[in-house]
Structure 1
Amino acid sequence: MPKKAGMEAWKKKRRQEHLEKKKYRYYIFCEGEQTEPQYFAGFKRLIEENPIYKDMVLIEIEPCAAETMRVIGMAERYVKKNKIQKGQIWCVYDKDSFPADDFNGVVLRAERLNKENPELQYHTAWSNECIEFWFLLHFAYYTSNNHRKEYISFLNDKFGELGIGKYQKNMKNIFDILMEKGNPKLAIRYAKRIIKDGQDKTPTEIAPGTKVYELVEELAKYLPEEIKDYF
């Protein structure tokens, strides 16, 4: 075996051993390439800085640049390729203008996959119609089913009031802005209320709505105590 190939195999083995030591494992597959990954990277950073959990929690964030059913498809291929047998697989995706069957289909596919291995569970953190609706809830309770442009306009106005310029899709500090200038605790409460009100409806029919709060609550458990209070 060539020296370089041997080194690569050794690194791969060491990485696998490192991952196996992690008790809590989260694999997050994001429809978008920047907005969602930047947001969840904020959780990852703080958790990895937390001396209590940094050696216990694994968080891997995978931008997919794909929509709805393709996101969970990419998650399945990643799981198979890396022989993942334990952990939580989270698919973060938007409704946008994609067909209802595709949007609802991700939830149905996750439910089927979850019957195969109780230690490897798939979760759907969807937003109808976009992740910006979750961001918006940090500032207000909002139930009008509008186009994403309206949600972005709302965020632009709110950011302007706060003196932090305009909302941008690829803001690297979006996590910090929402935590420090918004109210994550209220956002979770508002999102839960909306989901409860639509409990007999499909994800497509809950418009607007979001289940991103479920992943946020999971990750918030591992944040430093002084940060956890925000959630």
Structure 2
Amino acid sequence: MANIIKIDNAVLKRRAREEKKRKTEFKSKRKFYLIVCEGEKTEPNYFESLKSSLPKGVLELTNIDIDGTGKNTLSIVDEAKKLRNKYEEKYLRKIDKVWAVFDKDSFPTENFNNAINKGENSKPKINCAWTNEAFELWYLLHFNFYNTGISRVQYQKLIEKEVNKAANRTDFKYQKNSREMFVILNKFGNQENAIKNAEKLENLYFDRSFSNHNPCTKVHKLIIELIELTEKYAAQQQV
């Protein structure tokens, strides 16, 4: 009969303390992101797919929560603040970065401008990845540079045209709440070009009347942050 090795209680307690310390240190090193989307499906589906594409090691070091609120432009920043508090209570620690993702759509000029200003002036800051006029502009920039105003009605046809052309097909139909858009865009479009095109649009405007910045998007700023998480992780692995 094999001998049963008994471990001293003091050793067990020390190991338990060490494990608790390790978990606490690991948690403190993690970065916590919260992405609050105005839409309930289109934007959350896109960012969930982007999140899934990040290396496993990045997701072990970075906590990314994505919440589709269904709130309108005027209340999205207030909702982001409430959700920040909710998630901080959940994790018992501060959220490092909060992003609010919303569009101008048909909302009044004052509401759109006020939402952006409220986010920037919040303490802690609510970063705003806004788009004028709709989130789908970010999709289109994966294919070409668009610098003329686009109505919501036009987005669907333009996206279908660009994807069908790039994929050499004629049957692609854009579905607004599709879970596949991130994959489609990265297969047939070019994310690096989308970032460059978004920056070119951004550089066309110098005033703070954001509702007049059409077309324009700040979604690329959030995308760049998420990409940098992968780059930082890769650099750490080489050390």
Q: TM-score, normalised by structure 2?
A: 0.78
1:171 and 2:171 equivalent?
A: no
1:46 and 2:50 equivalent?
A: no
CA distance in 1, matches of 2:26, 2:120: 26
Aligned length: 203
- The one-character-per-residue Cα deviations of 1:81-112 (angstroms, maximum 9, x if unpaired) are 34363311100001011011111112211122
Q: 1:99-138 residue pairs with structure 2 within 5 A? A: 99-113=108-122, 116-117=123-124, 121-138=125-142
CA distance in 2, matches of 1:154, 1:130: 13
CA distance in 1, matches of 2:181, 2:230: 17
Match of 1:143 among 142, 147, 151: 147
1:216 and 2:220 equivalent?
A: no
- The one-character-per-residue Cα deviations of 1:147-175 (angstroms, maximum 9, x if unpaired) are 11112211112233323611111111111
CA distance in 2, matches of 1:57, 1:70: 27
1:34 and 2:41 equivalent?
A: yes
CA distance in 1, matches of 2:157, 2:25: 44
1:79 corresponds in structure 2 to 84
CA RMSD of aligned residues (A): 2.2
1:68 corresponds in structure 2 to 73
Structure 1 contact 33–63 (Cα < 8 Å) conserved? yes
2:12 corresponds in structure 1 to none
1:229 corresponds in structure 2 to none
Structure 2 contact 36–69 (Cα < 8 Å) conserved? yes
Aligned partner letter, 2:137? F
For structure 2, the 5+ residue unaligned runs are 1-23, 233-239
For structure 1, the 5+ residue unaligned runs are 1-16, 226-231
How far the C-alpha of 1:224 sits from its partner, in A, is 7.7
Structure 2 contact 80–126 (Cα < 8 Å) conserved? no
CA distance in 2, matches of 1:54, 1:146: 36
216-225 or 180-189, which moves further after superposition?
216-225
Aligned partner letter, 1:122? I
CA distance in 2, matches of 1:71, 1:122: 10
State the secondary structure of the residue aligned to 2:200: helix
CA distance in 1, matches of 2:97, 2:203: 23
1:94 corresponds in structure 2 to 103
Aligned partner letter, 2:34? Y
CA distance in 1, matches of 2:228, 2:50: 10
| Structure showing greater Rg | 2
How far the C-alpha of 1:188 sits from its partner, in A, is 0.5
Q: TM-score, normalised by structure 1?
A: 0.81
CA distance in 1, matches of 2:53, 2:70: 25
1:187 corresponds in structure 2 to 194
Structure 1 contact 38–171 (Cα < 8 Å) conserved? yes
